[in-house]
Structure 1
Amino acid sequence: MNFLSKLVLSLLAFKATQAIQTSFQPIDFPAPERELAHILPGEYTQLSHAAFPGYGVRVKRTEGWCDTGVKVYTGYLDVAQGAKHMWFYFFESRRSPATDDLVMWVTGGPGCSSSMDMLMQIGPCTVDPSGNGTLYNPHGWNAEVNIFYLDSPVNVGFSYSEFGEEVYTTEDAAKDAAAFAFIFTEAFAEFKGRPFHLAGSSYGGRYVPVFASEIWDMNRSAEKRGFTPINLKSIVIGDGITDAKETILAYYDMACTSASVPPVLDISTCVRMRRALPRCRELLTASCELEQSDLACTAATLFCENELSAPYRVTERNPYDLSDNECKGGIHALCYPIFNSISKYLNTPSTRAQLGVDPAVGVFVGCNNTINAGFRERFDSYRPTSFYVSSLLERGVDALIYVGTYDWICNWVGNIRWLEALEWHGQAAFNAEALSTWAGGEWKAAQVEGKTGKLLYATVQGAGHMVAYNKPSAAVAMVNKWIGAREV
């Protein structure tokens, strides 16, 4: 190794040491254990735990922001000896913070910030259309739960890395997300043993089952490692892409039949799509699921996307809402101009200062295309996620799967197909159950008492991909009833 190479390595090692020293001046716990209410506004309080070497949490109370009626906290999970930093928001429940359940929300993409869902549809506040402030959201999901929103994986939203570290698979992202959940609940004694629910949307259909499974597996060694198991009660997936194959095959049903709205594509195009279905199913099953060959899966996905996805996309209709024949704001804004307003607001220096965003973070981008491409290159969406769902159900964890009927991109047809194919002890009962109506749409559920968790599938009539944006009252009512009684 020449002198220049040695010098570069020395400088990098020195910078890494500095990063670790600056990121970690930890206050160890549980001696004494803390309460979240003890965290003060202003500077970060830094926490660590012997069971999670290389991990730490920086947290501060963020006063006067978003929902002035509850306590709000923001901060970072510092990972890998301070090399990776994952951003979170935490909002106390509007009802009873001391007793209400705990929910962790992750937005999909992959690569999209939870800030987008929070400030568009489910947070205690939404962004003003001008992007200059926030508006109180009476339908915020913290109505009856304590909730935190995590920017995962690293380099999403306000999350960042010191040396360009990236995470490009859901299984790798799960390790950091699970560690955050354990450190948070271990740090603040009031949340130990509190019923815990993991929720997410879109690519959260892949994140949520894998993240929850990582938590479940870590629970098995929790007491031996010196921390309290997380009381994992349920998973919640909204308009998820849990089974990519069934989702893409259902693009034909959504665009060419009356499964949701009247057919939107011409007959000749639909005939070609229908003829491609058997071949597409065969290719995706053989190449992406059984062989798991990158080369063969590339050919399969290119064929299927060209035959089943492209015909709808070229129409420039909104892929997130079949009832909308125009992608307003452009696809970079996911067809919702409010996304541009959110980015504008979160790039305002005064907002970033109030939240405590680290100066190392550059321009806020709602969805990181580099991360999205990295996941796609590894065919992450075609990994067998439904197996995680069935494994959780078999261990008594409940699951709510809800879908807006107007969503094309993560549609209800694909979701009900993978749910009916799901291998678990409640499969026969679930498939035999007829759909019933609820205030927002239709639902059905099954459970084997004493053996499995409860699986509940619900549609939200007239909603697109952003269910709570289109149907805010129905969405929050559904979630509250699920958390409280496992119903909708």
Structure 2
Amino acid sequence: MLAASLLSLLALTTATTAAQRPLVQQFVDNGQTYSGIDLPGSDQAYDAGLFTPLEEFSLLSTSEFTTLSHPLFPNYNVRIKKSDFCDGTVGAYTGYIDIQARHLFFYFFESRSNPDKDDVIFWTNGGPGCSSSLGLFMELGPCRVSSPDNSTFNPYSWNENANIFFIDQPIGVGFSYADYGETVSTTPEAAKDIAAFVAIFFEHFSKFKGRAFHMAGESYGGRYIPVFASEVYDQNARLVEAGLTPINLTSVMIGNGCTEWPTMTTSYYDMQCKPMSVAPVQEISSCIRMKQAIPRCEKMLKESCVDKFDSIGCEAAGLFCQSEISVPFYATGYNPYDISKLCEGAISDTLCYPVTKVISQYLDRPDVRSTIGVDPSITSNFSSCNYEVNAAFHAADDSMFPTQYYIAALLERGIRALIYVGANDWICNWVGNDRMTLGLEWTGQETFVSQPLKEWKVDGEIAGLTRNAGPLTFLTLDGAGHMVPFDKPKQSLEMVKRWLAGDKF
């Protein structure tokens, strides 16, 4: 949610409407000690006798954290506890990924079907700067928050047949925090923390070793996930060299991703001025001006952001394209996450969905924070999105990096990719994602491009359109906006089930 440059878009809209080694480590928790030594030369194989995995979730306490470490990652620890909340039918766990003075909060839910055999899904929301509590409590998690005082069982949760993580990242998002103001402002920085966490978790809970691992995300997750997955893939060589089991990275799943910004930017015209999912929502005069501005927008983006990267020139191109194509859309009052409806409340307050404020109120409850183990240092009210984090990533030009190259590189290595899009989304829409997938340069590109879009169905009813070749699948969901599992829970769960099973759509 949000989108990379939403902060600047909001500013533009307002202006327009107003004219982030110790050699020996030892940790003792719940009466148990887990030790590790950083050997000279971090890629050298370590002595397995120096590491004792925790192995069983049953050893975890509900009242205090157990700290996990690993000698291959001397600067990382994982604090984890059992947290009886949300689902009620499966094991639920929460904790922190500690990177020295930086701390990332996470949730983990076991599968409702067969947690000892089912795949593992990693999930992050986007922004950048938005908490994965939105995905957990509003979209695909085991429960949905219906009021500040209550959560209800979600029968369409993605943990129906998979174990799943939800992570608040980067630092400053959700319940994640830093001791001394440390920050992370680029996706490659954030990726190293995620890859280390995954390795430590799998090493301690070895029943997950070799299990299919899928990395999924939404919105700016289109930028996060390809880079995170690439870091996990590349880290596997280090794990093997150290005598460890590599992570069985199987696929990436990107929902309504903003992956290639130049392509996405120009598609904003199509979504508001053509009947791509609903009737045009923009005035004819505004569409004519946009049409005339698009060639200049494309030229500026190509020259300063694509062919070569010139920070000042690229930012100038972005500002021009936003003012001519994006700002007029916000003036319509339509929901940028679902153009079939108007925005409910100020976007900076509700993200157009008042339930986001309800989720924040639920997570402000002292009993909820105590149950899930929120660090006592966090006393401020919960915020779904951190605009300072968003601004930092935007200032670092993180969104302009050609992330589609990572997807292509993963495809070349046999990692499957599912690009799914709610057809009614505007901010990270299906037109831009379709163009991005068609333009991916990989050995299967010609075959993929030659495939027509065809209907896919759920229970005999048309659910959307899809195109596939080899490991790459593009798919749309009719009637859904930016948050597909929120709008179409049944269809999104069926989509995930088929994807995990390797079935065709």
Q: Deviations over 1:174-205 (max 9, x none)?
A: 00011111111111111111110000000000
Give the aligned partner of residue 165 of structure 1: 182
Q: Deviations over 1:20-64 (max 9, x none)?
A: 99999962374255222332321111110000011000000112x
- Out of 95, 108, 113, the residue aligned to residue 113 of structure 2 is 95
Give the aligned partner of residue 183 of structure 1: 200
**Whole-Å Cα distance in 2 between the matches of residues 473 and 72 of structure 1?**
23
**Whole-Å Cα distance in 2 between the matches of residues 22 and 31 of structure 1?**
12
Q: Which amino acid aligns with 1:441?
A: G
Normalised to the residue count of structure 1, the TM-score between the two structures is 0.92
- Out of 78, 102, 118, the residue aligned to residue 57 of structure 1 is 78
**Whole-Å Cα distance in 1 between the matches of residues 80 and 53 of structure 2?**
17
Q: CA RMSD in A?
A: 1.8
Residue 273 of structure 1 aligns to a residue whose secondary structure is helix
Q: Is the 8 A contact 1:75 1:89 kept in 2?
A: yes
Is 2:387 the counterpart of 1:369? yes
Is 2:300 the counterpart of 1:283? yes
1:72-83 to structure 2, matched below 5 A, reads: 72-79=92-99, 82-83=100-101
Q: Is the 8 A contact 1:30 1:187 kept in 2?
A: no
Give the aligned partner of residue 394 of structure 1: 412
**Whole-Å Cα distance in 2 between the matches of residues 486 and 211 of structure 1?**
25
- Out of 327, 331, 335, the residue aligned to residue 352 of structure 2 is 335
Give the aligned partner of residue 441 of structure 1: 464
Q: Is the 8 A contact 2:213 2:247 kept in 1?
A: yes
**Which moved further from structure 2: 274-283 or 202-211?**
274-283
1:17-36 to structure 2, matched below 5 A, reads: 27-28=34-35, 30-36=51-57
Residue 77 of structure 1 aligns to a residue whose secondary structure is strand
Q: Is the 8 A contact 2:424 2:480 kept in 1?
A: yes
Give the aligned partner of residue 13 of structure 1: none
Q: Rate the CA distance shift 1:329–1:308 in 2: closer, same or farther, 3 A.
A: closer
Q: Is the 8 A contact 1:124 1:137 kept in 2?
A: yes
**Whole-Å Cα distance in 2 between the matches of residues 21 and 352 of structure 1?**
28
Is 2:63 the counterpart of 1:46? no
**Alignment gaps of 5+ in structure 2:** 1-21, 36-49, 458-462
**Alignment gaps of 5+ in structure 1:** 1-16, 448-453
Normalised to the residue count of structure 2, the TM-score between the two structures is 0.89
The structure 1 segments of at least 4 consecutive aligned residues displaced by more than 4 Å after TM superposition are: 20-26
Structure 1 residue 244 displacement after superposition: 0.9
Is 2:314 the counterpart of 1:297? yes
Residue 375 of structure 2 aligns to a residue whose secondary structure is coil
**Whole-Å Cα distance in 2 between the matches of residues 285 and 177 of structure 1?**
32
Q: Is the 8 A contact 1:103 1:147 kept in 2?
A: yes
**Whole-Å Cα distance in 1 between the matches of residues 503 and 224 of structure 2?**
21
Q: Which amino acid aligns with 1:462?
A: G
Give the aligned partner of residue 11 of structure 1: none
Q: Rate the CA distance shift 1:149–1:418 in 2: closer, same or farther, 3 A.
A: same
**Whole-Å Cα distance in 1 between the matches of residues 71 and 244 of structure 2?**
9
Normalized per residue, the structure richer in strand is 2
Give the aligned partner of residue 68 of structure 1: 88
Residue 456 of structure 1 aligns to a residue whose secondary structure is strand
Q: Is the 8 A contact 1:62 1:355 kept in 2?
A: yes
Residue 459 of structure 1 aligns to a residue whose secondary structure is strand
Structure 1 residue 289 displacement after superposition: 2.5
**Whole-Å Cα distance in 2 between the matches of residues 486 and 51 of structure 1?**
37
**Whole-Å Cα distance in 2 between the matches of residues 486 and 393 of structure 1?**
18
**Whole-Å Cα distance in 2 between the matches of residues 181 and 242 of structure 1?**
23
Give the aligned partner of residue 39 of structure 2: none
Is 2:161 the counterpart of 1:147? no
**Whole-Å Cα distance in 2 between the matches of residues 365 and 47 of structure 1?**
28
Q: Rate the CA distance shift 1:21–1:33 in 2: closer, same or farther, 3 A.
A: closer
**Whole-Å Cα distance in 1 between the matches of residues 268 and 28 of structure 2?**
46
Structure 1 residue 326 displacement after superposition: 3.4
Q: Which amino acid aligns with 2:97?
A: L
Q: Is the 8 A contact 1:86 1:150 kept in 2?
A: yes
- Out of 288, 291, 295, the residue aligned to residue 271 of structure 1 is 288
**Whole-Å Cα distance in 2 between the matches of residues 302 and 405 of structure 1?**
26
